[in-house]
Amino acid sequence: MPDAAAAKPLLRALAGETLPVPPAWMMRQAGRYLPEYRATRAEAGDFLSLCYDPERATEVTLQPIRRFGFDAAILFADILLVPQALGADLWFVTGEGPRLSTITTPAGVAALKPADAIHDHLAPVYQTVRNLAGALPAPVALIGFAGAPWTVATYMIAGRGTPDQGPAYALIREDRATFEALLDRIEAATVEYLSAQVEAGAEVVKLFDSWAGSLEGGDFRRYSVEPMRRITQALKRRHPGLPVIAFPRGAGARYEGLHAAIGADCIALDDGVEAAWAAAHVQAGGCVQGNLASRHMVTGGEAMDAEIRRIRDAFAGGPHVFNLGHGITPDADPENVARMLAVLREQQT
């Protein structure tokens, strides 16, 4: 690890070091709970315009670093920029979320752009990464990210988020070959996208498989674990030493053994697993990230303080990155975020 990187707490933890105070950041830490974010988004006009505006995307990524002093910044973007770069139509409906043109046939998959043709469309995102690499304080690590293939595929097949990923499961039942062809196209594009982020200055990458937990039986390994493993291997071949965080949300007991199965340096945990269990069964494989319930950023108080200490202490015997078990919600109180970091970093006697 280069000398400059060696000073960054996040990179030290991802390399397997047990630190007296774990590095901390939050999923969706740049977002609607911050008034400064809402002001910048209003200037941009809409969410997608903000994603593709390097100056404003840089600004909203930096806002929580300035306000709170997190140990890492995560690129401000969206997992659905990859489908758009592949040729899917993408738009956002106010109050309802993303909408995409659906891909459910062999012809639809064949019409997608090749993986190496996505870069012109995503050039503004890479510029944001370059801006951040030059703007972050020296101890703060820069995280790039992408959605994992299964989760991205569920949106591309349904044309929107769904509570049960039903349209994706229907396609698997009716035409598994087409589903797998789509997954392969997303996987190849994800390697290209994350590799370009690293070339632009990202020091860590994270794969978000938000709907991994709904996969059952062998499909969990086939459609969540294996694509993330192949992406991780490809990235590490291109960028030796690159740390990778994998987040198969909802994996439950299947979190055990995923460091080895995916080849990731860190496994991010949702708040559905107990920290003590994860310390015994998951942290043995390497660094873990998590896993405070997001609701505590809304409710705060002594219950939040106690939970922070419980999680910190449970993972104190190995490498740990403190985070939420899912993204921070728009109704969170910024004062609770500041308090979370104060409690986490309090001097212990």
If pLDDT is split at 50, 70 and 90, which confidence band does 4 have? Answer: low
**344 alpha carbon, distance to own chain's centre:** 22
Name the active-site residue from 52, 53, 71, 78. 78
If pLDDT is split at 50, 70 and 90, which confidence band does 7 have? Answer: confident
pLDDT value at 148 more than 70: yes
Q: Is 28 a catalytic residue?
A: yes
Asked if residue 338 lies in contact with residue 24, where contact means CB atoms within 8 angstroms, the answer is: no
* Nearest to 259, CA basis, from 239, 226, 283: 283
What is the per-residue DSSP string for 32-46? Answer: TTSHHHHHHHHHH-S
Give dist(CA 232, CA 242) in Å, integer: 9
Name the active-site residue from 33, 37, 52, 155. 155
What is the per-residue DSSP string for 291-343? Answer: EE-TTHHHH-HHHHHHHHHHHHHHTTTS-EEEEESSPPPTT--HHHHHHHHHH
Beta bridge pairs of residue 317: none
Asked if residue 171 lies in contact with residue 159, where contact means CB atoms within 8 angstroms, the answer is: no
pLDDT value at 38 more than 80: yes
> Residues in the chain, how many?
349
C-alpha count within 13 angstroms, C-beta hemisphere, residue 161: 12
CATH 3.20.20.210 holds for 3-344: yes
Tell me the three state secondary structure of residue 15.
Answer: coil
Asked if residue 291 lies in contact with residue 250, where contact means CB atoms within 8 angstroms, the answer is: no
Which pLDDT value is given to residue 348? 58
Name the active-site residue from 28, 230, 312, 339. 28
Tokens of 59: 């600004």
Asked if residue 297 lies in contact with residue 324, where contact means CB atoms within 8 angstroms, the answer is: yes
Q: Is 32 a catalytic residue?
A: yes
If pLDDT is split at 50, 70 and 90, which confidence band does 6 have? Answer: low
Give dist(CA 344, CA 327) in Å, integer: 18
Task: Please write the tens of the pLDDT for every residue from 289-298.
Answer: 999 999 999 9
Task: Please write the tens of the pLDDT for every residue from 321-340.
Answer: 999 999 999 999 999 999 99
pLDDT value at 5 more than 70: no
Give dist(CA 44, CA 51) in Å, integer: 9
| Phi, psi (degrees; rounded to nearest 5) at 268 | -85, 140
**232 alpha carbon, distance to own chain's centre:** 14
Residue 157, Cβ density class (10 Å: 0-12 exposed, 13-18 middle, ≥19 buried): buried
**Amino acid identity at 278:** A
**Amino acid identity at 260:** A
Which pLDDT value is given to residue 185? 98
* Nearest to 109, CA basis, from 32, 178, 204, 195: 178
Asked if residue 294 lies in contact with residue 326, where contact means CB atoms within 8 angstroms, the answer is: yes
If pLDDT is split at 50, 70 and 90, which confidence band does 3 have? Answer: low
Task: Please write the tens of the pLDDT for every residue from 94-136.
Answer: 888 999 999 999 999 999 999 999 999 999 999 999 999 999 9
Name the active-site residue from 38, 41, 160, 309. 41
Q: Is 229 a catalytic residue?
A: no
Which pLDDT value is given to residue 96? 87
The alpha helices in 201-245, defined as continuous H runs, are 218-220, 226-238
Q: Is 155 a catalytic residue?
A: yes
The alpha helices in 136-225, defined as continuous H runs, are 149-158, 166-174, 176-200, 218-220
pTM of the shown model: 0.97
To the nearest 10°, report the CA torsion of 83, 86, 91, 95.
10
347: left (phi over 0), alpha (psi -120 to 50) or beta: beta
Q: Is 169 a catalytic residue?
A: no
Mean residue pLDDT of the chain comes to 96
Which pLDDT value is given to residue 1? 47
Average pLDDT over residues 153-164: 97
Beta bridge pairs of residue 100: 90
Residue 99, Cβ density class (10 Å: 0-12 exposed, 13-18 middle, ≥19 buried): middle
Give dist(CA 1, CA 90) in Å, integer: 39
